[in-house]
């Protein structure tokens, strides 16, 4: 390690707003990051982790201002640096992996071109060289370049979009990467691959990595040092082993106690087994296959009849009042299945029956009733809430002519009534997720499909959302289908688990049995890939050849 830190922050204070309404959110932050070091920043939503990272890039946005303090990169002061010099620095010397790939990527530009634009901005190259570099970067983060380079962000799964963000961040080989929840949308197997990739980048390139995360086990497995933040203050910092095994601050101790585990002792007694089947099933997949044409344009499809299969011969029955978890890697078909349940997609082959009726045949009033009875909580709270509407307006539209009031709905998801006056960007991640759940249950549905309901949340808020969904199920009798890569969360919440791989169901059964004694090789691989904290740290850090390419 060099004596002079790569990144040095002294007495950093940041405020938002103007005049008397100015609100200080960082209160004298002091920290360093050394060359070749991986530092984890942990803390609940609103603790100041992301604001600190955005301050380094001078990207605080409207209303945000650094009121005092110093930020130095390689001894060079960044506070007050002209915008032209900052633009040259961003991406080339320091880059960021943003938390929400859906909003960070341009929806109108292919992912290949977006990566190419980063390279062109900092490294003069010929078009063929840029194209070759783009393909290499995609392969390095585990994406087939031949298949995905010309796709748009909405055509990729959440995990694949996140990997594109990582490819963009490493495109110009920066000295420092600020990774804001870089594995949030990834399943455990891909998460393990990304962690290996980041490790190798640190070793082979000598870069420094700031790893902002709510996954404490992953932080313990990857990082050299940890910094615990809350309410704009640093509460505790030190070596990862000291923070994990000997946390001094009460808040740090609470964070580690909140981590969901796969052990049976941590599972609530009421979540024990699936209910006895009540025929007809509430939801019944009968030999469902979903495929898409490979050719992109209508003209090309005349000559190219090939199809890509997302779901292959799925048969699955779900009982009234049951909680079923669907797990698997990115691209396994989980989200496609969820969208078919809500009739956003129709099957290519097979039937999906809801209360004995084929969803694909529903029209008019029958379809309107179905829309009320089946609701979805989408993966991205940013993308699924209208940023121009207050929370009250959004929820009142969902309530419509129903018999639930706004006050009752907010109380049901444990939000204060005053929250209705706010806009989505004024809420924390956990609060936005509660609003999305409130919107979904406004018409008292019989089936609630939750796509990664806790993926972007810190552990303390995760525990609150799990408890909220549990209470909603107990109070309303709603049937839950939970799509997740978090096996511990699924074990905490669900009666039964369904494991998917490459569009097929490879294993299913009671959650306790499948997750404690799996029979399929793929399920065993999923469980093996779960971050193990300090015990998962490699004995000889970073061996060559462990990358994704």
Q: For the chain, which residues make up each domain, given as ranges?
A: 7-93+174-257, 105-173, 266-529
What is the model's pLDDT at position 2? 46
Strand partners, 211: 40, 179
The whole-angstrom separation of Cα 155 and Cα 305 is 19
Mean pLDDT per block of 10 residues along the chain (549 residues) reads 80 85 89 94 86 92 88 94 93 88 90 95 91 92 87 84 88 92 75 81 86 88 94 94 93 86 60 52 94 80 82 94 90 87 92 94 93 89 89 93 88 87 83 90 92 78 84 89 88 93 93 91 89 69 34
pLDDT at 545: 33
Can you name the CATH fold of 7-93+174-257?
Rossmann fold (3.40.50)
* Strand pairing report for 323-327 and 23-33: unpaired
Domains 7-93+174-257 and 266-529 share a fold: yes
Q: Residue 67 CB: number of other CB atoms within 10 A? A: 11
Phi, psi of 288 (to 5 degrees): -85, 130
Alpha-carbon distance values, 137 to 163, 175, 193, 297 (Å): 10, 17, 14, 27
Query: How far apart are the C-alpha atoms of 101 and 143, rounded to whole Å?
Result: 15
pLDDT value of residue 175: 93
User: Please, which residues bridge with residue 545 across strands?
Assistant: none
pLDDT at 43: 87
Confidence at residue 267, expressed as pLDDT on a 0 to 100 scale: 58
What is the pLDDT, as a whole number, of residue 387? Answer: 92
pLDDT (0 to 100) of residue 247: 93
The DSSP bridge partners found for residue 180 are: 212
H helices of 258-314, where?
Answer: 298-303
Confidence (pLDDT) at 16: 86
Which fold, 266-529? Answer: Rossmann fold (3.40.50)
Instruction: Please tell me the number of Cα atoms within 13 Å of 302 on its side-chain side.
Output: 2
């Amino acid at each position: 390690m060099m004596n002079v830190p790569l990144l040095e922050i002294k007495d950093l204070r940041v405020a938002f707003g103007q005049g008397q309404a100015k609100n200080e959110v960082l209160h004298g932050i002091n920290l360093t990051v050394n060359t070749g070091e991986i530092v984890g920043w942990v803390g609940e939503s609103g603790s100041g982790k992301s604001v600190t990272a955005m301050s380094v890039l001078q990207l605080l946005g409207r209303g945000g201002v650094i009121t005092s303090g110093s930020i130095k990169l390689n001894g060079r002061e960044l506070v007050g640096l002209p915008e032209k010099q900052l633009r040259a620095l961003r991406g080339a010397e320091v880059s960021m992996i943003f938390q929400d790939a859906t909003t960070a990527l341009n929806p109108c530009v292919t992912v290949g071109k977006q990566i190419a634009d980063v390279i062109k901005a900092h490294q003069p190259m010929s078009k063929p060289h840029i194209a070759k570099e783009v393909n290499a970067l995609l392969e390095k983060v585990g994406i087939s370049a031949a298949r995905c380079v010309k796709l748009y962000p909405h055509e990729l799964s959440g995990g694949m979009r996140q990997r594109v963000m990582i490819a963009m961040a490493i495109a110009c080989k920066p000295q420092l990467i600020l990774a804001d929840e870089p594995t949030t949308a990834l399943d455990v197997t891909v998460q393990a691959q990304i962690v290996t990739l980041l490790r190798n980048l640190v070793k082979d390139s000598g870069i420094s990595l700031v790893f902002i995360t709510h996954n404490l086990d992953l932080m313990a497995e990857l990082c050299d040092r940890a910094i615990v933040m809350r309410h704009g203050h640093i509460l505790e910092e030190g070596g990862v082993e000291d923070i994990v095994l000997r946390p001094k601050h009460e808040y740090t101790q609470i964070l580690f106690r909140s981590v969901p585990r796969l052990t049976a002792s941590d599972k609530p007694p009421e979540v024990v087994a699936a209910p006895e089947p009540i025929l007809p099933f509430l939801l019944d997949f009968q030999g469902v296959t979903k495929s898409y044409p490979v050719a992109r344009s209508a003209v090309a499809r005349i000559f190219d009849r090939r199809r890509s299969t997302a779901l292959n011969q799925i048969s699955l029955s779900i009982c009234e009042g049951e909680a079923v978890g669907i797990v698997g890697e990115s691209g396994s078909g989980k989200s496609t299945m969820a969208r078919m349940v809500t009739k956003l997609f129709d099957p290519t082959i097979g039937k999906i029956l809801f209360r004995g009726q084929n969803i694909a045949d529903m029209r008019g009033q029958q379809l309107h009733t179905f829309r009320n009875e089946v609701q979805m909580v989408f993966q991205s709270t940013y993308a699924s809430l209208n940023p121009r509407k207050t929370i009250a307006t959004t929820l009142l539209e969902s309530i419509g002519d129903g018999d639930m009031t706004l006050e009752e709905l907010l109380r049901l998801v444990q939000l204060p009534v005053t929250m209705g006056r706010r806009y989505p960007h004024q809420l924390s991640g956990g609060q936005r997720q509660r609003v999305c759940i409130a919107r979904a249950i406004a018409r008292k549905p019989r089936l609630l499909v939750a796509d990664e309901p806790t993926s972007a949340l810190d552990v303390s808020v995760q525990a609150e959302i799990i408890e909220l969904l549990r209470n909603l199920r107990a109070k309303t009798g709603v049937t839950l289908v939970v799509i997740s890569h978090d096996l511990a969360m699924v074990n905490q919440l669900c009666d039964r688990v369904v494991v998917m791989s490459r569009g097929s169901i490879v294993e299913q059964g009671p959650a306790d049995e499948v997750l404690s004694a799996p029979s399929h090789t793929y399920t065993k691989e999923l469980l093996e890939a779960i971050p193990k904290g300090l015990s998962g740290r490699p004995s000889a850090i970073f061996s060559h050849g462990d990358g994704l390419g």
